[in-house]
Each structure stands twice: as C-alpha cells, then as structure tokens.
Amino acid sequence: MPSFDVVSEADLAEVDNGVANVMREISVRYDFKGSQSRLEHKDGVLTIHADDELKLKQMQEIIRGQMHKRGIEPGMLDEQKVEPASGMSVRQNIIIKQGLDRDLAKKIVKEIKAAKLKVQVAIQGEELRVSGKKRDDLQSAIAFMKDMGLDQPLQFKNMRD
C-alpha cells in the first residue's frame, strides 16, 4: 500500500550557516558599527542580543532573509517575547519549530477526514503517516494539505509504493 510521511523540520546545519551569514552581515553594516549586537544558536534556539529595539528589529529582518535563503521558512521561526537585558540592551529568543505538535496533527487528520479523501492518516509521534490504495489518492492528499493554509510549513517524505 503506497504511503508517505508528513513532517515539519528544519535542517540545523543550514540554521548554523544562516547564523554565520547574519553575523557576517552585521559586522560589515554601517548602522551596526560599534554595536554589541550578536546572534547565538544553541539546541534549536536562536538568541538575539541587541543594543536597543531598533537594532533588534533590524536583526530580525536580517535573520528572516538569511533563513529564507537557506531554505528555512518564516513559519518555522517562533519569536518569543522581547526581554530587557543588562544596561539598555534587549534580548529575544527565537525557537525553531521541529516536528508537528499534537494539536496541529489532530487538526490535519480531522480536515482530511472531513474532505473524505480515500486515505488513512495515522499520528506517529511528531509526524503523520498517510497511506492509500493508489498513488493518485496520496497526491490529492498532498495537494489538499498544501492548500490548507497552515502557519507551519510541511514537508512530505518517504514516498513508498
């Protein structure tokens, strides 16, 4: 029986490359001259340290652009609350979403069942397994999920016949 997996994951090596590009861009930009602004990546969490709110906003724009260039979609970046840090500086964490959370997985399963597609969907941890009798049914399920307009990007892998 043909099947495929639905996942939502970011390549952390590409995140590291994006962080290096952001730091390189900050080091050469005139508006960041003499600034103590920096970006750190540890265990799927980006931490922005900026001198003030304006530099924080500029760094967020640079991060979004660089991550998009590296294939990490903006929906995978979960920006947390801005916190004051030592002195007049500010800090913000950005969590890189890995895997489908339970609520989103249940929502996808419910939508597919409501559309009466000829596929079966099973939640397996942080991914979904979609199986059907024909490959065409699976392709229609992929098209349906792409058109759902979810805020978290999905990847489809392990297509088997």
Write the pLDDT tens digit of every residue in 111-133. 999 999 899 999 998 899 999 99
Cα(7)–Cα(22) distance, rounded to whole angstroms? 27
Cα(158)–Cα(4) distance, rounded to whole angstroms? 5
Domains in the chain, please, with CATH? 3-8+100-160 (3.30.70.860), 12-96 (3.30.70.990)
The identity of residue 129, as a single letter, is R
Dihedral pair phi/psi, residue 130, rounded to 5°:
-110, 125
Which residues are paired to 157 by β-bridges? 5
Q: Specify the pLDDT at position 19.
A: 94
Q: Specify the pLDDT at position 159.
A: 85
- The list of the chain residues with pLDDT below 70 reads none
- Encoded tokens for 36: 């103590």
**For residue 124, how far is the Cα from the chain centroid?**
20
Q: Specify the pLDDT at position 34.
A: 87
